[in-house]
Structure 1
Amino acid sequence: MPPHTAPTAVDLGARLLGRPLEHDRVLTGGQHARTVMADDAGRRVVVRTFPRGDDAVRREVAVLTLLGPLGELAPSVLAHGQVDGVPTIVTTALPGAPPADGLDPMVIAEQMGAALARIHRIAPVGLPDESRAPTRHAGRLAARAREAWERTDRTRVLTHGDFWCGNAVWDGAVLTGIVDWSGAMSAPRGVDIAWCRQDLVLLGAPDAADRFLRSYEVHAGRLVDDVHAWDLIAASRADPYVETWEPNYLGIGQSGVTAPVIRSRFDAWVRHLLG
Structure 2
Amino acid sequence: MYDDAIAWARSHLDHPVHEVRPLVGGRTSAMLALHDRSGRGSVLRLITEEPWRTHGAELATRESVTQRSLTATGIPAPRSIALDPAGDDTGHPAHLMSLVPGSPDEVRCDDTSLAAIAGLLASIHEVVATPAPRDYQSWAWPAKWVVPTWASRSGLWQSAFDLLDTDPPAFRPTFLHRDFGPHNLLWTGEEITGIVDWVETSTGPAWLDVAHCSSNIALRHGTDAAQRFAAAYTRLTGVEREPYWDVMDVVGFLPPPGREPMFDDPTQLARLEEHLARVLP
Give 2:130's match in structure 1, choosing from 120, 125, 134. Answer: 125
Partner of 2:25: 29
Note if 1:143 corresponds to 2:162.
yes
In terms of mean alpha carbon deviation, does 9-18 or 36-45 score higher? Answer: 9-18
User: Distance in 2 between the 1:24 and 1:57 partners?
Assistant: 21
What residue identity is the alignment partner of 1:205?
G
Note if 1:181 corresponds to 2:188.
no
User: Distance in 2 between the 1:245 and 1:20 partners?
Assistant: 39
User: Distance in 2 between the 1:195 and 1:153 partners?
Assistant: 19
User: Distance in 1 between the 2:29 and 2:116 partners?
Assistant: 26
In terms of mean alpha carbon deviation, does 37-46 or 128-137 score higher? Answer: 128-137
Q: CA deviation at 1:268?
A: 1.9
User: Distance in 1 between the 2:106 and 2:269 partners?
Assistant: 22
Q: CA deviation at 1:115?
A: 0.4
Give 2:248's match in structure 1, choosing from 233, 236, 240. Answer: 233
Q: CA deviation at 1:19?
A: 5.5
Unaligned runs of 5+ in 1: 247-257
Show CA shifts across 1:191-246 (max 9, x none). Answer: 211000101100123222222223222333x22242x2211111122123798444
User: Distance in 1 between the 2:70 and 2:202 partners?
Assistant: 13
Q: Secondary structure at the residue paired with 1:45?
A: strand
User: Distance in 2 between the 1:274 and 1:243 partners?
Assistant: 25
* Percent pairwise identity: 24
Tell me if structure 2 keeps the 8 A contact 1:146–1:233: no
Partner of 1:252: none
Q: Secondary structure at the residue paired with 1:73?
A: coil
What pairs with 1:175-254 in structure 2 (closer than 5 Å)? Answer: 175-220=192-237, 222-226=238-242, 228-240=243-255, 244-246=261-263
What residue identity is the alignment partner of 2:213?
C
Unaligned runs of 5+ in 2: 148-157
Alignment RMSD (CA, Å) = 2.7
Quick one: structure 1 residues 9 and 208, their matched pair in 2 at CA, closer, same or farther if it must change by over 3 Å?
A: farther
What is the TM-score when the length of structure 2 is the normalising length? 0.80
Greater per-residue helix proportion: 1
